[in-house]
Structure 1
Amino acid sequence: MCVGGTVHTRPLHKGASVMPYKKPSTPEEKEGAREASQAITQELMARIDTCAQRLAEQLGAGASDELLTFMRFSARFHTYSLNNQVLIWLQAPEAAHVAGFHAWKALGRTVKKGSKAVRVLAPLVMPDHEAPPVNGKPAQKVVGFKYSSIFADYDTEGDPLPSAAFMVVQGGDDGTRALLRSLTAACPVPVRWEDGEGRGAHGWTDGGQIVLSREKCQGEPAHALRVFFHEWAHVSLHFQGAGKRAEDLPDRTTRELEADAAAYVLSSVYGVEATAAVADYITHWGGNAEKLHGSMTRIQRAVSSILGALEEQAEVMPQAAD
């Protein structure tokens, strides 16, 4: 994980470029193609693991800059899995959008001749006869992965690129307050302001509502936005009502870290920077690559869920004041 749908380079090997494709026909050609595909898939997985270990080592040494850079980048590709976000970052760190060859064509854009593909992982699925049907259809299970090719926006030409679904805060505090009002309308649980000391926190949630402290948050709208996203991340990540069992939840420190990291990503989507304290706090992941990857996977799912809800609301969001 060093540092994807939404139309969202150091190439692997020499990279795949746009050229006529000859489908294997003989048994030998098919076997050779299968082995080549497996080799590329294994290389992609190895790059993810190597990057995860490097980031964990950096965190163990107290450095969080690269992880924070990746987290901001990942928000552009929230419909992709964490591993594919990493692969996009490694191969196309300047991409604003990526899509497959035919998806770009459907948008009125063509991939430039000679462009290098960005390789990501796609699951291999088969029927799961031991699981109950899903929506009347046989259940499926993932049995492995294969690679697929997508292309970055800068390697295409044609019709204008899709506009961003999310606005960036403009107009200072007034714009941020307008944004916060529109965002709370998309939240799946009620959001209310609390007067007085309350719990003494900037915000809190019990999974059924989000409460923001008027005294601690209202004077600084950007901070209120971060607190709101922090609590919404808790709702998505850490409550049994969201399908979580108490015994499966991480410890309190990790829960706070995951909520803070999700809030950092979500705030960055809207042009609101996190405080320096967030970077210091994130180093608490230390040098444990497995723990880091587990938390980042949960964070990616929460961010994807929240941004999905906000995308549904985006077309009715009021514009921030200039």
Structure 2
Amino acid sequence: MSNTVTRPDWGKLFSSILAEPGRLGEYYSLFHSYSLGNQALAMFQMTLRGIPIGPISSFNGWKKLGRRVRKGEKAIALWMPVVKKEVVQKDDGTEEERTRRFFIMKNHWFALAQTEPIDPENPGTVPTPETPEWDRATALANLGITEVPFEHTDGNCQGFARPDKLEIAINPLAAMPWKTTFHEIAHCLLHSKRAEAAFVDGGVIDASIEEAEAEAVAFLCCATLGLPGLEEARGYVQSWLGSSAKAEEFAKKSASRVFAAADKILKAGAASKEEAGDE
């Protein structure tokens, strides 16, 4: 880690993740949650029409997010539930109102690549704050991690990682792309099949602990570099752990893993490739 950065007390910071109030970001619910079937249908249409796979929303949905559908773009069709009430006559001659639910296909949705900012000066994305002590591209290169396109239809998903391939993807509309980047890098460092072997007691890590570990790493990186997102990171960790028993397990087994991953990420972005290779 560069000598220009004074590292805070990580022990106290780690404890604060569980002890201090957090807030789950509203950006996890900005988009409608589409069924797996509709997501697959949308991806098929995007691929067929040569549209880059990405988040989908309705015309008005994009408008609320500060984006508009470009002229000439054709909508994507999804299955839409329809509820219809009808009156039927029973055998005894009386009438009864029944509700029937069925699906119809409607062309109401557009992919991110089919839209543009309503206000070019405010494109609807959050720029990464200046961090002269840490360079993102240098960190990815030193860690051997590749960033790939965000090919996911769920706009609520901020990013994803493929740990065994050392690949990460960040949603172009991510609310805090710097925090998400730390989170996904942490997955690559901690949660590949190779990394799992180092877990305390040799146990298998469940998804809740994996997510808590990755976000705790992001929390420490943000705190060390003076970046926003600490309250949201605490909220994310607390929501995944859920119970005091899970939090206790996390505190005992994950602290050293989180510290090691955060240290590696920060050093990778602060050092040259030659320096990183000598560590």
Aligning the two structures, in what range does the TM-score lie when normalised by the shorter sequence?
0.3 to 0.5
Higher strand share: 2
- TM (norm. structure 2) is 0.44
- TM (norm. structure 1) is 0.39
